[in-house]
């Protein structure tokens, strides 16, 4: 093995770790705030959301605080085929901004945290998710930018 290859193999693991740390983009402040907010919200669940939907749990996934909202009826697969499915998704993108009014999540406003709602069917199938940066909450900033993924 050549000297260059030997050097690359010695340096590569450290370089990979540094790259992963840099790409995570989440500092200790964000991680700590997410953990604290999740701990505050979790004991209040499950609770009704709207109609027959229930906010079942809240968890931290990476840099996101994720509310899991379950529908006891319907099927995610069938619902996604409905021609008006996008209207539902867009309505929930707007509704996500309402979560900003919850005083429990205010510690996230000055972090890199993301707020996410995941809508699931009774079998765990995902209808869709909506997400926005906590810093985009109207209380934290005048701009707002929710996005969704099917």
What domains are there in the chain, each with its CATH number?
A: 25-149 (3.30.300.250)
Alpha-carbon distances, residue 57 vs 4, 38, 83, 129 (angstroms): 51, 9, 29, 14
Residue 147 has pLDDT above 70, yes or no: no
Residues 33, 117: Cα–Cα separation, whole Å: 18
Lowest mean pLDDT among 26-40, 60-74, 134-148: 134-148
Residue 11 has pLDDT above 70, yes or no: no
pLDDT (0 to 100) of residue 9:
42
pLDDT (0 to 100) of residue 22:
42
Residue 13 has pLDDT above 50, yes or no: no
Band the pLDDT of 142: cuts 50, 70, 90: very low
Per-residue pLDDT averaged across 16-23, rounded? Answer: 40
Residues 21, 15: Cα–Cα separation, whole Å: 10
Alpha-carbon distances, residue 121 vs 6, 53, 65, 72, 103 (angstroms): 52, 10, 20, 6, 28
């Amino acid at each position: 093995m050549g000297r260059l290859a030997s050097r690359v193999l010695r340096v590569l693991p450290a370089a990979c770790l540094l790259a992963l740390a840099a790409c995570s983009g989440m500092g200790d402040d964000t991680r700590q705030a997410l953990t604290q907010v999740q701990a505050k919200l979790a004991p209040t669940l499950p609770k009704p959301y709207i109609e027959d939907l229930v906010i079942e749990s809240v968890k931290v996934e990476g840099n996101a605080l994720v509310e899991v909202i379950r529908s006891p009826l319907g099927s995610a697969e069938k619902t996604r085929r409905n021609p008006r499915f996008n209207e539902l998704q867009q309505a929930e993108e707007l509704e996500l901004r309402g979560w900003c009014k919850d005083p429990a999540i205010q510690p996230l406003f000055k972090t890199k945290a993301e707020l996410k709602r995941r809508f699931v069917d009774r079998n765990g199938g995902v209808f869709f998710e909506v997400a926005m940066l906590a810093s985009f909450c109207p209380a934290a900033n005048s701009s707002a930018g929710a996005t969704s993924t099917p």
